[in-house]
Amino acid sequence: MRSIAVFTKNMDDLDLGVSELKDKLRDFKLAKNSFGLIFAHSETDFEELGTRLQKEFDFPIIGASAMSLFSGEEGYAKEGISFHVFTADDCSFAVGMTEEYTEDNYKTEIKRTYNSLKKDLGGWRPKLVLTYGVKNSKIPGDEVVDVLDSVGGGIPIFGGFCSDNFEFNECCVMLNSKVHRAGLVMVLFGGNIRPVLKGEFSVDTVADFVEVVTESDKNVVYKLGNKTMVEALLAAGFDLEGENLLMQFVGSPFLVTYTAPDGDEIQVVRHLDCIDFEKEAGVFLGSVPKGASIQLAMFSRKDVARSVARAIQSAIVDVANEHKYEYTSAIITSCVSRLMSFSNDIVDETRGYTSVVPPSIKFSGMYSYGEFCPKVSPASGKMHNCFHNMTFTFVVF
């Protein structure tokens, strides 16, 4: 498989922007099977962009809105359009999009779309799911990952929820000229592909806030020990009167340690989204199961750079061990909270990957409202598909 990642700043003038992208792709030779991946600032006219790209390129193109982008050409890009084209003779790509779904039908839609795409792989066995979606506040990210994990039989899942400028109503996904503000776009990879996936966070836990979840339902935590969630937070000195707790807790997420159904211990970071004062419960952006240990964590700029370097260097080591496979492509999904911690000075994160990704590996990516990436249990070495907050995720293939 080969790829090329190009970029244009011309998101407001799509005549000029698409012309620039086409010119940069002029000498790139397509193989038997190809698809394109768009990350574009959320203020882009995605329907018009998809229509124009479809007229210029004879392969399926998916896209996702983003607060900010990663680009092999630009490093970090606050605005613009990234276009990453993948092509191969020995791989197959099945590309599709769910219908717009709700909390009542999302499981059916995800399963239907996956099974339909599996039939389109030309007999290849799926080896990777790449997917981006619009976050529904009533559907925890873990639920989306769990449905895909179940229907895919545990194959790696990579992607995340698209983002906007914290408007939460401008997020969208795109398949060619069709745009949805709910649902997922999805690509199944089959054939000669050996994906290496890494997810890293780096936080320091606060010793005086360590609790066990004694009552919860998916992403809603009612009790920590014998205290309600609100009582526990107030006892720890938190001010819960603010209008936007999500923003307040960007630098103070929670480290959640839980036991998977197979007995493996898993650690993820969870952001607090809001407080249900009537029920004295905390609503998180991801699931927090009963019995989990929950610790307050602190987050810093240094931690961001450190986790980026660790994820990519670990992936490159794994890549180097695969002597018989040539890695050419990478995709990054990083949490918007990491971007916010820099107050728009993102040089440390971009330096973390531009300095270590080999020039032969072309990459693109986005800042997300939640990341999909497997996590390997340190005890068993087994891979578990997980939903993440505040995590840098990276796939190379």
Place of tokens 């994906």: 195
Confidence of residue 317 (pLDDT cuts 50, 70, 90): confident
- What does the pLDDT look like over 213-263, one tens digit per residue? 999 999 999 999 999 999 998 888 877 876 666 666 777 789 999 988 888
Q: pLDDT value at position 208?
A: 80
CATH class assigned to 204-298: mainly beta
- What does the pLDDT look like over 157-167, one tens digit per residue? 999 999 998 88
d(CA 36, CA 177): 13
- Return the SS3 of 78: coil
Residue 311 has pLDDT above 70, yes or no: yes
Q: How far is CA 325 from the centre of its chain?
A: 25
Structure tokens at 321: 């061990």
d(CA 35, CA 95): 8
d(CA 248, CA 200): 22
d(CA 2, CA 159): 20
Confidence of residue 338 (pLDDT cuts 50, 70, 90): confident
Higher confidence at residue 206 or residue 367?
A: 367
Judge contact between 348 and 301, C-beta under 8 A: yes
Domain boundaries in the chain? 2-200+302-396, 204-298
Q: pLDDT value at position 86?
A: 98
| Partners of residue 384 on adjacent β-strands | 375
How far does the chain reach from its first CA to its final CA, in angstroms?
8
Confidence of residue 348 (pLDDT cuts 50, 70, 90): low
Confidence of residue 33 (pLDDT cuts 50, 70, 90): very high
Q: How is the beta sheet containing 157-161 ordered, strand by strand?
A: 91-97, 183-191, 126-134, 157-161, 371-376, 383-388
Give the number of C-alpha atoms closer than 13 A to the C-alpha of residue 75, restricted to the C-beta side.
12
Rounded to an integer, the average pLDDT of 110-134 is 96
Rounded to an integer, the average pLDDT of 345-374 is 78
Q: pLDDT value at position 241?
A: 76
Instruction: Give the helix/strand (H/E) hosting 374.
Output: strand 371-376
Higher confidence at residue 209 or residue 357?
A: 209
Residue 62 has pLDDT above 60, yes or no: yes
Q: pLDDT value at position 351?
A: 60
- Ranking 47-56, 70-79, 255-264 by mean pLDDT, the lowest is 70-79
d(CA 387, CA 385): 7
| Partners of residue 160 on adjacent β-strands | 132, 371
Judge contact between 69 and 364, C-beta under 8 A: yes
Judge contact between 153 and 129, C-beta under 8 A: no
- Ranking 26-40, 166-180, 201-215, 305-319 by mean pLDDT, the lowest is 305-319
Residue 372 has pLDDT above 60, yes or no: yes
DSSP letters spanning 50-72: HHHHHHH-SS-EEEEEESSEEET
**Amino acid, res. 288:** V
Q: pLDDT value at position 355?
A: 63
d(CA 332, CA 53): 23
Judge contact between 65 and 41, C-beta under 8 A: yes
